[in-house]
């Protein structure tokens, strides 16, 4: 894909459904009894991997349209041993959450995914799930997938995680559904809480106090209607582009603004962006808003601490924005970036440097000096969807041509991204 400088970006759009919530809708709908209807589902490759895994375990999932599903849930004990290996594709959420569920089954499963998934750390789930009683083997002995999981009778534990990770927290809570006593997870900072909110809407008893979530075992989960809000992580590319590119004004409708995910909105405000948040009525526990953003004079800022988990997936596009801000932007406490779909510290530094940005990698983040114009370059997305989308936006505000290798990887979380972007370009 090739990108060139544009004059302005204007218009209204709705971004696709939230990826984290779409995964959970499929998983919890499969574990509930009766029918779950999902509207606004994200038909991205990652969520399709989750659908396929549950279909392989005997759950009937009808795709009425790409964004509308009917899941015929069979209850907590309704899964059956799949024929062959479960393929989780590029999806860390599928791999880690499903491991929690498989730990409580009375069959053995092997699961693996693509080259990126096979490099991502799974020790962080193997340890707590093993403490609960599951038997999990990393088949290459490197604490990564492929994983062989033999479910066993599980015990409730109180586990303290080393990093704020919703995938780890959710894997433990999901195993906790099958335990013989309550399970608690304490994290160093609050990570996204979609699991807690949605499990409760299905009838589970999950309580949160500070950064500790507790779940009672063996609830009766009943099928639900799930409305998936627009994904704030996908909206972030348009919010950033609307601020950076001259003479722009973009309205994004129906975006999820859960406070455990809204770090990007807080950063835009810190950077001086002209952004208006219009909350709209939500039928679920997930708050929703329409967002309006206009071209803005941006200033650098420091991102650290508890804010990081609330915007971890948005750091690549924030780094792009920081190139157009006045002054220095410092991102710290974000070492998790190294173990995402790619090493996002290295990949951002390499690609933004190629475009002329003043960026330095640090142990746990990066430092950017704004105000140096970007020029087009050849960008290697490393097949990381968030890198490809970030550099598509950078290319719209850079001199010359920007070419992105592996640009089709945006299908992981945002099929139709380039079409939506082009529609707004003036």
Q: Which is nearer to ligand S3P, 194 or 397 (CB)?
A: 194
Instruction: Work out whether strand 10-13 and strand 60-65 pair parallel, antiparallel, or are unpaired.
Output: unpaired
For 12-34, give one letter per residue: b (16+ CB within 10 A) or e: eebbbbbbbbbbbbbbbbbbbbe
Build a one-symbol-per-residue string for 327-356: x at contacts with ligand S3P by CB under 6 A, - elsewhere. Answer: ---------x--------------------
Q: Which is nearer to ligand S3P, 37 or 336 (CB)?
A: 336
What residue number has its CB nearest to ligand S3P? 20
Angstrom CA distances, 113 to 71, 116, 144, 245, stand at 24, 8, 10, 38
How many chain residues touch ligand S3P (CB under 6 A)? 12
**Where are the strands (E) in 60-180, listed by range?**
60-65, 68-74, 86-87, 108-112, 135-138, 147-150, 158-160
Write out the binding residues for ligand S3P, residues 19-78 only, by CB under 6 A. Answer: 20
Q: Which is nearer to ligand S3P, 174 or 407 (CB)?
A: 174
Binding residue for ligand S3P, selected from 105, 167, 214, 296, defined by CB under 6 A: 167
Angstrom CA distances, 61 to 29, 73, 227, stand at 9, 9, 16
Question: From the CB of 237, what's the least distance to ligand S3P, in Å?
Answer: 15
Build a one-symbol-per-residue string for 277-316: x at contacts with ligand S3P by CB under 6 A, - elsewhere. Answer: -----------------------------------xx---
Question: From the CB of 33, what's the least distance to ligand S3P, in Å?
Answer: 24
Question: From the CB of 312, what's the least distance to ligand S3P, in Å?
Answer: 5
- Cα dihedral sign, 65-262-406-399: positive
Question: From the CB of 167, what's the least distance to ligand S3P, in Å?
Answer: 3
Question: From the CB of 403, what's the least distance to ligand S3P, in Å?
Answer: 26
Write out the binding residues for ligand S3P, residues 173-192 only, by CB under 6 A. Answer: 191-192
**Under rule CB under 6 A, residue 390 binds ligand S3P:** no
Report the distance separating Cα 226 and Cα 222, nearest Å.
12
Q: Which is nearer to ligand S3P, 150 or 201 (CB)?
A: 201
By CB neighbour count within 10 A (0-12 exposed, 13-18 middle, 19+ buried), where does 115 fall? exposed
For 274-307, give one letter per residue: b (16+ CB within 10 A) or e: ebeeeeeeeebebbbbbbbbebbebbbbebeeeb
- State the DSSP H helix or E strand holding residue 235, giving kind and residue range, or none if neither: helix 232-244
**Under rule CB under 6 A, residue 248 binds ligand S3P:** no
Question: From the CB of 192, what's the least distance to ligand S3P, in Å?
Answer: 6
Question: From the CB of 336, what's the least distance to ligand S3P, in Å?
Answer: 6
**Under rule CB under 6 A, residue 166 binds ligand S3P:** yes
Phi, psi of 162 (to 5 degrees): -85, -30
Q: Which is nearer to ligand S3P, 187 or 290 (CB)?
A: 187
Report the distance separating Cα 417 and Cα 426, nearest Å.
16
Are the C-beta atoms of residues 191 and 154 closer than 8 Å to each other? no
Active site residue 346: no
Angstrom CA distances, 311 to 102, 232, 235, 240, stand at 29, 10, 12, 13
By CB neighbour count within 10 A (0-12 exposed, 13-18 middle, 19+ buried), where does 422 fall? exposed
Binding residue for ligand S3P, selected from 88, 165, 258, 329, defined by CB under 6 A: 165
Which stretch in 145-153, 159-167, 237-245, 416-424 sits in contact with ligand S3P by CB under 6 A? Answer: 159-167
Binding residue for ligand S3P, selected from 30, 52, 93, 329, defined by CB under 6 A: 93
Q: Of 344, 313, 315, which Cα lies nearest the Cα of 116?
A: 344
Q: Which is nearer to ligand S3P, 47 or 374 (CB)?
A: 47
Pick the catalytic residue from 262, 313, 380, 384: 313
Q: Footprint of ligand S3P on this chain (CB under 6 A)?
A: 20, 92-93, 165-167, 170, 191-192, 312-313, 336
Q: Which residues does the annotation mark as catalytic?
A: 313
């Amino acid at each position: 894909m090739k990108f060139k400088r544009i004059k302005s970006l204007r218009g209204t759009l709705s971004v696709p459904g939230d990826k984290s919530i779409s995964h959970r809708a499929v998983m919890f709908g499969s574990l509930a009894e009766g029918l779950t209807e999902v509207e606004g589902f994200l038909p991205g490759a990652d969520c399709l991997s989750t659908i396929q895994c549950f279909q392989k375990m005997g759950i009937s999932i009808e795709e009425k349209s790409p964004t509308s599903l009917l899941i015929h849930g069979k209850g907590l004990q309704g899964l059956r041993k799949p024929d062959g290996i479960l393929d989780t594709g590029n999806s860390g959420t599928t791999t880690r959450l499903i491991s929690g569920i498989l730990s409580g089954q009375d069959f053995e499963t092997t699961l693996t995914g693509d080259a990126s998934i096979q490099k991502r750390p799974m020790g962080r789930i193997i340890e707590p799930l093993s403490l609960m009683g599951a038997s999990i083997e990393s088949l290459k002995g490197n604490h990564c997938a492929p994983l062989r999981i033999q479910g066993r009778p599980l015990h409730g534990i109180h586990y303290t995680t080393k990093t704020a990770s919703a995938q780890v927290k959710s894997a433990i809570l999901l195993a906790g559904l099958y335990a013989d006593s309550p399970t608690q997870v304490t994290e160093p900072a609050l990570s996204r809480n979609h699991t807690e909110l949605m499990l409760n809407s299905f009838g589970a008893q999950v309580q949160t106090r500070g950064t500790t979530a507790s779940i009672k075992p063996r609830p009766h989960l009943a099928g639900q209607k799930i409305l998936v809000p627009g994904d704030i992580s996908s909206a972030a590319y348009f919010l950033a582009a609307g601020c950076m590119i001259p003479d722009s004004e973009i309205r994004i409708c129906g975006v999820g603004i859960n406070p455990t995910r809204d770090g990007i909105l807080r950063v835009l405000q810190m950077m001086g962006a002209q952004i208006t948040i219009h909350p709209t009525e939500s039928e679920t526990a997930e708050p929703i808003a329409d967002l309006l953003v206009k071209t803005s004079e941006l200033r650098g800022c420091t991102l650290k601490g508890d804010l990081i988990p609330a915007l971890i997936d948005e750091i690549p596009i924030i780094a792009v924005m920081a190139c157009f801000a006045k002054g220095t932007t410092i991102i710290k406490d974000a070492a998790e970036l190294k173990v995402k779909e790619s090493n996002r510290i290295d990949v951002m530094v390499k690609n933004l440097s190629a475009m002329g940005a003043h960026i330095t990698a640090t142990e746990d983040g990066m430092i950017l000096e704004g105000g140096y114009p970007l020029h087009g370059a050849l960008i290697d997305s490393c097949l990381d969807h968030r890198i490809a989308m970030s550099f598509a936006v950078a290319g719209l505000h850079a001199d010359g041509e920007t070419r992105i290798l592996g640009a089709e990887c945006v299908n992981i979380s945002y099929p139709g991204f380039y079409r939506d972007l082009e529609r707004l370009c003036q």
